Amino acid sequence: MSNNHNPVIKTLNLTKVYDTGFRGEQVSALKNLNLEVYPSEIFGYLGPNGSGKTTTIKLLLGLIFPTSGSIEIMGTKDIYSAYVKKNIGYLPEGSYYPDFLKGEEILRFYGQLYGLTGKELGKRIDEVLELVGMTHARRRLLKGYSKGMRQRIGLAQALISDPQILILDEPTTGLDPIARKEIRDILSHLRDKGKTLLISSHELLEVEMISNRVGILYEGILRVAGTLDELLTSKDRIIEFANAKNGVVQEIENKGGEVVDQVKDRVYLKVKNDEELYKVIELCKNLGLQLIKITPRRETLEELFVNVIDLAKKERSL
């Protein structure tokens, strides 16, 4: 995706080591990270807890400092410059906003920090409230907000300056399915408007639904990165047969076939390669089954995630 564009976020051998004690003990949170996020894409940044996702985000935002390596955002290495900061919107995980403020007051405060004032700020507040569907609650104190509403206001504050890049840390965690769907729709809409989104998340299904590219991080190392089409390939195929009578499933399994499902007279078998495919077809033909269709099976992001982590664990134990 978009490889003909220059990346808007680029890290080169980015490494972060934390000192954890008085005895000079150190923990490597991030090891030689080479990450590229391209314009107008949603990049799903995945990994289990403690894998280094939040560390990466904090490094990109200049909240912590790299041990080695470099970061380039929008073509500049000066990530602390007003130019870069004005073009980044950030939603932290489980972000806190003071209860004594109203929704629009929060946005006013953050908008002012971007240098927005007067009518320009007022107009922008109206726009982002409309975008996140919070216009009706703009004059309510935050203490009366539900979790979903707080997350929307969080998203609105990230969008207040109309930034080119959005960095979102667990944007849908803890939300109910409807709120998740709504947030997902907003994020897709933003991507369609040309924004670049880096989303750190545990919600694999959500990420799979909206991301163009994903990266899986484990123990500070980026294990895989690419488009979903590149990553979720599999030679597995599902073959559907009709005319299955009682006992045929048992018979197929006894002869080495892998039945994944049976619905009425239909059986579904999984094969991993061409050799297996021909063998299964021959077997089923001999059993009097009628071939209906052969479908290539796409791996899910969850399967990829588990496989990548398992592989990393195996490599470590070697």
Rounded to a whole number of angstroms, the minimum distance from the CB of residue 34 to another protein is 22
How long is the chain? Answer: 318
Whether 115 and 52 have beta carbons less than 8 Å apart is answered as: no
Contact positions with another protein (CB under 8 A) in 152-191 = 157, 161
Under the criterion CB under 8 A, does residue 28 sit at the interface with another protein? Answer: no
**Alpha helical stretches, state H, the chain:** 53-61, 82-86, 103-113, 118-131, 147-159, 177-192, 204-210, 228-231, 248-254, 274-286, 301-317
Instruction: Report how many residues bind another protein under the rule CB under 8 A.
Output: 28
Tell me which of 3, 80, 264, 316 binds another protein, using CB under 8 A: 80
- Mark 256-295 with x for binding to another protein (rule: CB under 8 A) and - for no binding: ----------------------------------------
Contact call for residue 196 and another protein (CB under 8 A):
no
Tell me if 15 contacts another protein by CB under 8 A: no
Site string for another protein, 42-71 (x = CB under 8 A): ----------------x--xxxxx------
Among 13, 70, 113, 278, binds another protein (CB under 8 A): 113
* Token pair in block for residue 25: 């003990």
Q: What share of the chain is helix, strand, coil (3-state, %, to 5)?
A: 40, 30, 35
Choose the binding region for another protein from 82-90, 133-141, 217-225, 298-306 (rule: CB under 8 A): 82-90
Residue 280's nearest CA partner among 302, 251, 308 is: 251
Q: What does each C-alpha distance from 68 to 28, 62, 300 come to in angstroms?
A: 11, 14, 35
CA separation, residue 26 to residues 18, 21, 124, 265 (Å): 5, 8, 45, 61
Residue 48 DSSP one-character state: -
**Binds another protein (CB under 8 A): choice among 39, 69, 92, 133:** 92
Contact pick of 48, 50, 98, 288 for another protein (by CB under 8 A):
98
Given the rule CB under 8 A, which residues bind another protein?
58, 61-65, 80, 82, 85-86, 88, 90, 92, 94-98, 100-101, 109-110, 112-115, 157, 161
